Structure 1
Amino acid sequence: MDIAKRYCEVGDFAGMAEELRAIRHHLHQHPELAYEELETAALVAHKLQQWGYEVTTGVGRTGVVGSLTVGDGQRRIGIRADMDALPILEQTGLPYASQRHGKMHACGHDGHTSMLLGAAKYLAETRHFSGTVHLYFQPAEERGIDSGAQCMIKDGLFERFPCDAVFGVHNHPGAPAGTFLFRKGPFLAAGDNIFITIHGKGGHAARPHLTVDPVVVASSIVMGLQTVVSRNVEPAQPAVVTVGVLQAGSANNVIPDQARLELSVRSFCPEVRALLKERITTLVQQQAASYGATAEIEYLMGYPVVINSDRETEFAIQVAQELVGADNVVPHTAQLMGSEDFAYMLQARPGCFLRIGNGEGEDGCMVHNPGYDFNDRNLPIGAAYWARLVERFLTLPSPIPC
């Protein structure tokens, strides 16, 4: 290996841009939900094998790991990309729109996978490093519980494919394409899931006095939940309680027996997380009881807080500044209330989870939206970033003091 050779630049991917775009569009047309990523995993495994990686499939059910060792370096790095899609009906009208009804890459995982594949190809061709790189292509990030990161770790990810540090990325609508955003310490919120069934007494719509209307109960609970953060959580502590599902009834002249609510709850502080659970549980039960109904609550603690380690994040910031210039790097961006199962990987290994801008204005459509699309301008930039990060991390002597 010629250590004197320059590190990877974005321009090195000019000849690969169209190939990466074709891969991304193919993945976008063929989205697969959590733990169904068989075709995606097969495509990833085939590409990695073509490029000379040692490939292991079925890690964490449908995950793929590609490993490449160059030289005699003892350091090891892990980079993760998520592969799963969402149960959303696409409404982009794009020529490469989803061909699978009700399934869509509405969070950009097709782009995350394509960027890492681009880096994989470049690293295999240039081999400008000394050590081992493990590429973790992960399923089921969108699950909320029993996620792909958990499953891969339980399957021995870090014992079978060990790394000294692990890195991951997510696109960020609202920031200019190609901009990198970082934050040391707590970055993304913990995310919990609550499923509530209100049991009332159904009957004729014209005789409500003979019923216990679960629709009214559920509506009261929804409004009551709006006070949990505003009146129970200390104002300086970030927290979100969102009711994403309210389902009840099937006819306008029938008062149903049951109503169902599904909540998403986000927080950063363990004490706030515990407070939210106590207040939501108490409020739901007592609101239901006040109407003569009962409430069945399933409260599932989901992903923990994403906490970036200082040393690895500082290193990741330096690499981004080298690649795209300091003006295109935000080293201390705001905390985000979204959640990520990459948090589990960061609990097991030091590392950094970063964001890459997906565009502003019309290009900045929010994720989990039927009109969203990953910005293809990021493909060579993201691929170059991963390649340079590996080259820098696996250059001796170590760029990160041990």
Structure 2
Amino acid sequence: MTHKTHCTLDDVVDLEPGLREIRQHLHQHPELSNEESATAALVADKLRALGYQVTTGVGGYGVVGTLRSGPGTRSIGIRADMDALPITEQTGVSYASQTPGKMHACGHDGHTSMLLGAAEQLARSKNFSGTVHLIFQPAEEIGFNSGAERMLAEKLFDRFPCDAVYGLHNHPGYPVGKMMFRSGPFMAACDTVNITIHGKGGHAARPHMAVDPILVAGSLVVSLQSIVSRSIDPNETAVVTIGSLHAGHASNVIPETARLEMSVRSFDAGVRKILEDRIRTLVENHAAGYGARAEIDYVPGYPVLVNHDRETAFACEVAKELLGEENVVENLPPISGSEDFAYFLQQKPGCFLRLGNGDSAALHNPAYNFNDESLTFGAAYWTRLVERYLAD
């Protein structure tokens, strides 16, 4: 190899208009988890045109683009997610979603576009020696049986060997061009708990002849909050949120059932187990105390995302080279959101990092929009990371 330098922001400036066009096209045409057919087709077409070996249909609509250069034997994987959310957009932008009730409210349109930008720069410079696998993953937002799980079930890393794997997510509230890292536990495990309280329906005027599941559910909402404050070590982090409570249809009728839906988050496997045990025990006994019965559907979600020390240090070093030390946060506090990239990190060493999205609305908000000024930062970073990892 004759190259003596690695990718800079100046190297990808010319890609910016095309990346913006791709990103805004994807934004206009969002596809939910397990529906990403058009997005996957666009990605595959772009990669083929750049000379990548392209494999489609991996774990659903997953696409893997493979490029080799030089005699190097090492390999690296870079992942971007592709799916949108069931949210009605309220951004007011000219390229807003054309599909009612669906929008890219988490920036996966930007993640996909940035990685396509890196794909183009890597293909035209080939300033590396080894193999790069660009992994475009479906169904990150679904919460369980996700795209990452299904890609791994279809032997992703056997078919596309990677010595390390990397991914990123945009981060509202931090300036564009700033990157954030953390080694070790970084993003939370997230479990979903569906609870049905079975009581005895009756007339609102004769509550003594019924078993009111709404009363049980209402008092249970308060009692469940005691788990974090009284059963979890104060030095640990845990979240128990009841996001949904439904019961009854008429003011003069005591219903038969009430249903609660909960999100439970933690950063430690031991804490995760305590939360499940305490929730099950508390819910069952609480309902029994009122003469009701509780049915619990405990759905395990994504595990804790744990970044590997060496790979995180390397990724952080590359960011400092590209952006300057003043634009790199080395020890960002843990994030209570969850991410199925955690499954990749259970099988391969790697790092999941954050990229500033400026002063945008929060993720999963109908007013959220990915910041197109981030596109060249992401494309340049992924290119330089691959070049540095696969240096000759």
Q: Which TM class, normalised by the smaller chain length?
A: over 0.9
Q: Distance in 1 between matches of 2:103 and 2:292?
A: 38
CA distance in 2, matches of 1:150, 1:156: 10
Q: Which residue of the partner structure matches residue 62 of structure 1?
A: 61
Q: Report the equivalent of 2:375.
A: 379
Match of residue 334 from structure 2: 335
Aligned twin of 1:178: 177
| SS of match in other structure, 1:143 | coil
Query: Which residue matches 2:11?
Result: 12
CA positional deviation for 1:293: 1.2
Per-residue CA deviation, residues 90-139 of structure 1 (Å, 9 max, x unaligned), is 12222111111111111111111111011001111111111110000001
1:233 equivalent in alignment to 2:232: yes
Pair 1:149-2:148 in alignment: yes
One of 366, 378, 383 as aligned partner of 2:362: 366
1:292 maps to which residue?
A: 291
- How many Å separate the matches in 2 of 1:214 and 1:89? 33
Name which of structure 1's ranges 171-180 and 38-47 shifts more when overlaid on structure 2: 171-180
Q: Give the aligned partner of residue 400 of structure 1.
A: none
Query: What residue number does 1:267 align with?
Result: 266
Q: TM-score, normalised by structure 2?
A: 0.98
Q: Gaps (5+ residues) in structure 2?
A: none
Displacement of 1:217 after TM fit? 1.3
**CA–CA distance in structure 2, aligned partners of residues 309 and 55 of structure 1:** 28
After superposition, the CA RMSD in angstroms is 1.1
In structure 1, what residue type is equivalent to 2:386? V
Distance 1:52 1:182 in 2: 32
8 Å contact kept, 1:246–1:259? yes
Matched residue pairs, number?
392
Separation in 2, partners of 1:283, 1:341? 29
The amino acid that maps onto 1:318 is E
Q: Output one character per residue of 1:293-348: Cα deviation in whole Å (capped at 9) or x when no partner.
A: 11100112211111111111111001000111100000111111111111110011
1:393 is matched with: 389
1:252 deviates by 2.8
Q: Which residue of 2 aligns with 1:2?
A: 2
Deviation at 1:214, TM superposition (A): 1.6
Partner SS state of residue 263, structure 2: strand
In the aligned structure 1, how far is the partner of 2:87 from the partner of 2:205? 37
Partner of 2:106: 107
1:113-167 Cα offsets, whole Å, 9 max, x none, are 1110110011111111111100000011112111111100110100000110000
Spell out, residue by residue over 1:227-264, the C-alpha distance to the aligned partner (whole angstroms, 9 max, x if none). 11011111000111111111122233332211111111
* Cα separation, 2, equivalents of 1:321 and 1:354: 13
Q: Which amino acid aligns with 1:329?
A: V
Percent identical among aligned pairs is: 63
Offset of residue 194 of structure 1: 0.8
**Residues of 1 paired with 2:15 and 2:175: CA distance?**
22
1:21-32 paired onto structure 2 within 5 Å: 21-32=20-31
Residue 282 of structure 1 and its aligned partner are, at CA, apart by 1.0
1:377 partner SS: helix
CA distance in 1 between partners of 2:337 and 2:362 (Å): 12
Paired letter, 2:377: I
Name the aligned partner's letter for residue 368 of structure 1.
H
Task: Give the distance between the partners of 2:366 and 2:208, measured in 1 at CA.
Answer: 42
The amino acid across from 2:52 in the alignment is Y
Q: How does 1:158-237 map to 2 (within 5 A)?
A: 158-237=157-236
SS at match of 1:142: coil
Counterpart Cα distance in 2 of 1:104 and 1:74: 41
CA-CA distance at 1:182 after TM superposition: 0.4
AA aligned to 1:167 is Y
| Residue aligning to 1:128 | 127
Which runs of at least 4 in structure 1 moved beyond 3 Å after TM superposition? none
**In structure 1, distance between residues paired with 2:293 and 2:13:** 62
Aligned to 1:35: 34
State the secondary structure of the residue aligned to 1:289.
helix
Deviation at 1:274, TM superposition (A): 0.9
User: Which residue number in structure 2 is paired with residue 344 of structure 1?
Assistant: 343
Q: Partner amino acid for 1:98?
A: S
**Which residue in the other structure is 1:399 paired with?**
none
TM-score of the superposed pair, with normalisation by structure 1: 0.95
Which blocks of at least 5 consecutive residues in structure 1 are unaligned?
397-402
Contact 1:3 1:395 in 2 (8 A): no
Amino acid at match of 1:394: L
Q: In structure 2, what is the Cα distance between the partners aligned to 1:223 and 1:81?
A: 39
Alignment of 1:45-84 (within 5 A): 45-84=44-83
Stretch deviating more after TM superposition (250-259 or 120-129): 250-259
Q: Secondary structure at the match of 1:244?
A: strand
The more displaced of 328-337 and 248-257 is 248-257
Q: Provide Cα deviations, 1:49-97, integer angstroms capped at 9, x if missing partner.
A: 1111000000001100000001111110000000111111112222111
Q: Distance in 2 between matches of 1:353 and 1:91?
A: 29
Q: Which amino acid aligns with 2:2?
A: D
Deviations 1:158-186 (A, max 9, x none): 00001100000011112112210001111
